[in-house]
Amino acid sequence: MEIPYTVSNRPDTGVYNAKLAIWLFLASEVMLFGGLFSAYVYIRMGTDDGYWPQGLLNVPVGTLNTVILIASSISVVFAWAALKMRNWKQYKTYLGTTILLGAVFLTIKLAYEYPAKFNHFGAYIKKDSLSEYEKYLDNEGLKQKKLAPRVEITGHLEAIELTGSKEVLDVFANEHGLEVVPAPHEEAAATPAPSAPAAEPAKEHKEEPAFLVKAKDEHKGVAPLVAEKLLKLPNTKLIAFEVKPDEKFSHPKDAKYDHPTFFLQDVDHAALPIKIKAEHIDWWSGFFPKHSNFLAIYFAITGLHGLHIVGGLIVFGYFFFFGESLYRRNPEQMANRLEVSGLYWHFVDLVWIFVFPVFYLL
């Protein structure tokens, strides 16, 4: 039995069945992504000054991915036009280009952007301890410029100072390419003891030895995920993190780091690590979804968008490898199927057009 209106338009709607169905589906997609973007706006508006990350994303890479997706939308239109002109060879060329561009987009996102974030580290400083790190934050200078204060120090985790069992730490370090060395001793400032009558001598308190866990290769740091596992070892207590800071903390008075910039600010390799003591930390994490509301929504939306890209590539791949039989039997129906898939692909690209300015530029 032949299904009606797979090629000809319905008299009640003026479009064929598949086109009507895809528009209804895209309407539901608008509500899905609209809800996520609305949540982003409301959470952003309710966040205290300084607690909404800025400049975390690589704008040039985001720009490149935007160009790639726009180009893929153009190539899928050319593939549809080739089918309408009954040029199978051109169709294969343009659809193959669309598939290639979509795969490049996913590769950049999954193999470059996401891993770079997972290896980045951030520590939110307690409000009553911010003055301890004024040298790196320059909040007084930001206040004079009427800019939001900095409450987080970000960079790459170089080492972790902690107490624990040397044997347990050595086993963990060998498994993760780290090394354990005695932590440098910090001499306490000498203060004159107040005069007091002789009293019974206090029992001697034996201080636990402190260790520094760091990468064997001095050019590599400690991955935040590895740091989380390390600090879950039994009888392990964090003393401090040593962080190679991003440039806005190694050069806090430089105005070009006050706002996100088009080009990603790299780590200043000449900067000395900042030692952030455990008692001064309110929250620390790698740039995972749990790091902040910003990254939670970023990963939710870009992850969902990536799944839509995968879905589109699967459909295009099916048409590329198995579409010829339908084309030979009914070329107009094949063109309609690609048109419907192209509408879906255009919507996915349109979502990215919102993602790019909202997350990367604002």
How confident is the model over 57-93, as pLDDT tens digits? 888 899 999 999 999 999 999 999 999 999 999 999 9
For residues 258 and 320, state if they share a domain. no
Last residue of a domain, one of 286, 303, 328: 286
Mean pLDDT of 286-301: 94
Residue 148 has pLDDT above 90, yes or no: no
Do 217 and 308 fall within a single domain?
Answer: no
Residues 252 and 176 in one domain: yes
The answer to whether position 309 is within a domain reads yes
The mean-pLDDT minimum among 46-55, 99-108, 150-159 falls in: 46-55
- β-bridge partners, 244: 156
Q: Are residues 48 and 112 in the same domain?
A: yes
Report the C-alpha gap between 188 and 346 in whole angstroms.
Answer: 64
Q: Are strands 210-215 and 178-182 parallel, antiparallel or unpaired?
A: antiparallel
Q: How far apart are CA 62 and CA 76, in angstroms?
A: 21
Domain count for the chain: 2
79-83, 115-119, 155-159, 184-188: range with lowest mean pLDDT: 184-188
Among candidate residues 286, 302, 334, the one where a domain is terminated: 286
pLDDT given for residue 189 in this prediction: 44
Q: Compute the distance between CA of residue 348 and CA of residue 304 in angstroms, rounded to an integer.
A: 10
Same domain? 251 vs 333: no
- Whether residue 170 lies inside any domain: the answer is yes
10-24, 149-163, 226-240, 289-303: segment of lowest average pLDDT:
10-24
Mean pLDDT for 168-175 is 94
**Same domain (yes/no): 169, 53:** no
Give 124's pLDDT tier (boundaries 50, 70, 90).
very high
Residue 235 lies in a domain: yes
Helix then strand then coil, in percent of the chain rounded to 5, is 55, 15, 30
DSSP string, 225-292: HHHHHHTTSTT-EEEEEEEEEBHHHHSTT-GGGSS--SSPPPB-TTSPPEEEEGGGEEEEEESSGGG-
Q: Which amino acid is at 283?
A: W
CATH of the domain at 70: 1.20.120.80
* CA-based max dimension of the chain: 107
Average confidence score pLDDT of the chain? 88
With respect to residue 241, please indicate whether it lies within any of the assigned structural domains.
Answer: yes
Same domain, 300 and 282: no
Which pLDDT value is given to residue 159?
95
Give residue-wise pLDDT tens across range 189-206: 444 545 445 555 555 545
Same-domain check for residues 51 and 89: yes
**Domain edge (last residue) among 229, 264, 286:** 286
| Residue 125 main-chain phi, psi, to 5 deg | -90, 140
Per DSSP, the residues of 29-81 read HHHHHHHHHHHHHHHHHTSPTT-S--S-S-HHHHHHHHHHHHHHHHHHHHHHH
Q: 110 and 243: one domain? A: no
> How confident is the model at residue 127, as a pLDDT?
92
Please name the helix (run of DSSP H) or strand (run of DSSP E) that holds residue 214, with its range, or none: strand 210-215
Other CB atoms within 10 Å distance of the CB of residue 220: 14
Distance CA 233, CA 343 (A): 52
Residues 219 and 248 in one domain: yes
Per-residue burial over 18-47, b = 16 or more CB atoms within 10 Å of its CB, e = otherwise: bbbebeeeeeebeeebeeebeebeeeeeee
Confidence (pLDDT) at 173: 94
**Predicted model pTM:** 0.85
Same domain assignment for residues 223 and 141: yes
What six digits make up the tokens of 346?
């255009």
Please indicate, yes or no, whether residues 127 and 250 belong to a single structural domain of this protein: yes
Residue 216 has pLDDT above 80, yes or no: yes
308 lies in some domain? yes
Residue 104: pLDDT band with limits 50, 70, 90:
very high
pLDDT band at 270 (very low <50, low <70, confident <90, very high): low
- For residue 161, the enclosing domain spans 123-184+208-286
Asked if residue 186 has pLDDT above 70, the reply is: no
- Tell whether the model's pLDDT for residue 214 goes beyond 90: yes
Q: Is residue 228 in some structural domain? A: yes
CB-CB contact of 274 with 249 (8 Å): yes
Q: Is the pLDDT of residue 345 over 90?
A: yes
Indicate the pLDDT class of residue 5, thresholds 50, 70 and 90.
Answer: low
The CA distances from residue 4 to 25, 179, 250, 339, in Å, are: 20, 70, 68, 18
Among 64-68, 94-98, 114-118, 245-249, the least confident range: 245-249
Q: Range with the lowest mean pLDDT among 7-21, 68-82, 141-155? A: 7-21
C-alpha atoms less than 13 angstroms from C-alpha of 197 in its C-beta half-sphere: 0
- Does residue 3 lie in a domain region? no
In a domain, 160, yes or no: yes
Work out the percent of the chain whose per-residue pLDDT is above 90. 67
Strand partners, 275: 242
